[in-house]
Amino acid sequence: MYDVIIIGGGPGGYLAAERLGYRGKRVLLVEKQYLGGTCLNVGCIPTKTLLNSAKLYLHAAEGAPFGVHAPGVSFSMAEMMAWKEKVVETLRSGVASQMKRCKVDVVSGTGVLEVNGPSRGVRVDGVLYETRTVLVAAGSVPVMPPIPGAKDNPRVLDSTGLLSTGEAPERLCVIGGGVIGIEFASLFGALGSQVSVVEMLDEIIPPMDKDLAPLMRRSLKNTVFHLGCRVTRIEDATVFFTSKDGKEESVAADTVLMAVGRRAETSSWAAKEAGVDVTPKGVNVDDRMRTNIPGVWAAGDVNGRSMLAHSAYRMAEVAVNDICAVLEGGTSADTMRYSAVPWAVYSIPEAAGIGLTEQEAAAKGIAVVTASAPMVVSGRFIAENGVKAPGSVKVIVDAANRRILGVHVLGPYASEMIWGAAALIENEMRVSDVREMVFPHPSVCEVIREAIWNIKE
């Protein structure tokens, strides 16, 4: 009899197991493939590893203005992939070691939830493990829309398939201009591939402020965008789509990446069979990650509330606190808040944001004032990137009470800067509060302060 069984060994699952183990609970973690889940094995970590290699290649190839010359610089996709695998294996073994340190039992296989009255259990390859509570962290899977010519087409890959490619395609067509699509477009564009992005919406990266998205598009190397276009069919590696004005157009490629998003994984663990309330987005949960079944929680991508690894971490902590309280006969006061969850795109250049965009504030009827600052106001930014490199920070402020509602960053280091902006919003800080803060100099994060000083009185 376990205190908790966790289905899924991705970010939400393994972090929950670690936290529960530290608190002395008897925990079983069930993972059907690799510890670390999608993020570590075929998502966040592999793409960032390859993007770093692409950045090193670009820095060497374009180093002449900085006095660094590397004639004949080249890259090896095979060696980049080998490094990616080494990074993944190192981190995966680290997760396994952490499970041992926390005395978490780990079983390999597909966990199926079984609920019979008050009893709880998870069946793995015919073996039933009993438990007092269950945390489902089954993650998500890539969406493959029913586009004619896409299914069983060896030229059409999802992100997992493209992460195993043997060489950079000469021509890559990316269907989908969200985070996944833009990161891969940036990666292969930097390596010299001719990239076309076909996006159904009028702009890329939905959470990005509409002032910064065009700057992002102009910054990506060797990339052409087709916005407001609906893909109609794929023939071999030629993608046909209908443009805004209703005309049929096409893009010929060597490889097609299907990057239209991900959906919650609710089938493999028999959610509906167990009576779990599943919506089109994922498992329905409250702000403590409780499902409609007593004793069953769901955290991470599987509930569809915020499909980000760092969101899964926080959801796992909220669920763990509530599970422990329930096991001890109480209820946790900790709840999940979504108003200060940052997002980041690790492209070249990076982008990140937190809180409301100007467009979202307008849709909510909130009167705001905004201001921006170019990154070239930072001495460090110029020293490391030059005066022509793209970069900007935009802040959104409530016009009535001067509270900071959103911060949006485009440029190098955006992903490392955004946590500070998250702290500003989480703590409901106002313009006057931030103006009194001391930022390190010289640093690129000073541009956030400069943007806030540009807010009119």
Q: How confident is the model at residue 144 (pLDDT cuts 50, 70, 90)?
A: confident
pLDDT tens, residue by residue, 371-421: 999 999 999 999 999 999 999 999 999 999 999 999 999 999 999 999 999
Residues 294 and 178 in one domain: no
pLDDT tens, residue by residue, 32-41: 999 999 999 9
pLDDT tens, residue by residue, 42-54: 999 999 999 999 9
Secondary structure (3-state) at 108: strand
- Report pLDDT for 179: 96
- Residue 367 sits in a domain of what CATH number? 3.30.390.30
Let me know if residue 147 belongs to a domain.
no
CA 415 to chain centre: 11
Let me know if residue 227 belongs to a domain.
yes
Residues 294 and 167 in one domain: no
Distance CA 312, CA 13 (A): 8
pLDDT at 118 over 90: no
Q: Which domain holds residue 93?
A: 2-142+263-327
Distance CA 272, CA 283 (A): 10
- Report pLDDT for 116: 85
Residues 390 and 448 in one domain: yes
Let me know if residue 133 belongs to a domain.
yes
Please report the DSSP string for 197-208 in residue order.
EEESSSSSSTTS
Domain boundary among 260, 281, 306: 260
**Rounded to two decimals, what is the model's pTM?**
0.95
Over residues 139-155, the mean pLDDT reads 94
Over residues 417-434, the mean pLDDT reads 97
Whose CA is closest to 198, among 250, 146, 247?
Answer: 250
Residue 362: CB atoms within 10 A of its CB come to: 12
- Residue 206 sits in a domain of what CATH number? 3.50.50.60
Residues 110 and 13 in one domain: yes
Instruction: Select which of 226, 310, 408, 441 is catalytic.
Output: 441
pLDDT tens, residue by residue, 282-330: 999 999 999 999 999 999 999 999 999 999 999 999 999 999 999 999 9
Over residues 431-442, the mean pLDDT reads 97
Residues 388 and 408 in one domain: yes
Phi, psi of 133 (to 5 degrees): -140, 160
Domain boundary among 211, 228, 260: 260
Distance CA 73, CA 265 (A): 43
Residues 125 and 274 in one domain: yes
Distance CA 357, CA 311 (A): 19
Residues 241 and 273 in one domain: no
Let me know if residue 333 belongs to a domain.
no
- Report pLDDT for 391: 97
Alpha helix positions (H), 328-375:
358-363
Q: In this structure, are strands 140-142 and 262-264 parallel, antiparallel, or unpaired?
A: antiparallel
Is 69 catalytic? The answer is no
Amino acid at 202: D
Over residues 167-171, the mean pLDDT reads 97
pLDDT tens, residue by residue, 231-272: 999 999 999 999 999 999 999 999 999 999 999 999 999 999
Distance CA 276, CA 253 (A): 43
pLDDT at 228 over 90: yes
Q: Which residue has the tokens 């891969």?
A: 184
Let me know if residue 49 belongs to a domain.
yes
Phi, psi of 219 (to 5 degrees): -90, -20
Q: Give the CA angle between residues 376, 382, 383 to the nearest 5°.
A: 160
Residues 40 and 133 in one domain: yes
Contact status, residue 171 vs residue 253, Cβ threshold 8 Å: yes
Please report the DSSP string for 158-191 in residue order.
-HHHHTT-SS--SEEEEE--SHHHHHHHHHHHHT
Angle between helices 414-426 and 446-453 (to 10 degrees): 50
> What mean pLDDT value characterizes the chain?
96
Amino acid at 237: A
Domain count of the chain?
3
pLDDT at 457 over 90: no
Residue 58 CB-density burial (10 A; 0-12 exposed, 13-18 middle, 19+ buried) = middle
Distance CA 150, CA 71 (A): 41
How many H helices and E strands in the chain? 13, 22
Q: What is the CA radius of gyration of the chain?
A: 23
Give kind and range of the element (H or E) at residue 406: strand 404-410
Residues 426 and 369 in one domain: yes
pLDDT at 354 over 90: yes
Over residues 334-338, the mean pLDDT reads 96
Let me know if residue 344 belongs to a domain.
no
Contact status, residue 75 vs residue 56, Cβ threshold 8 Å: no
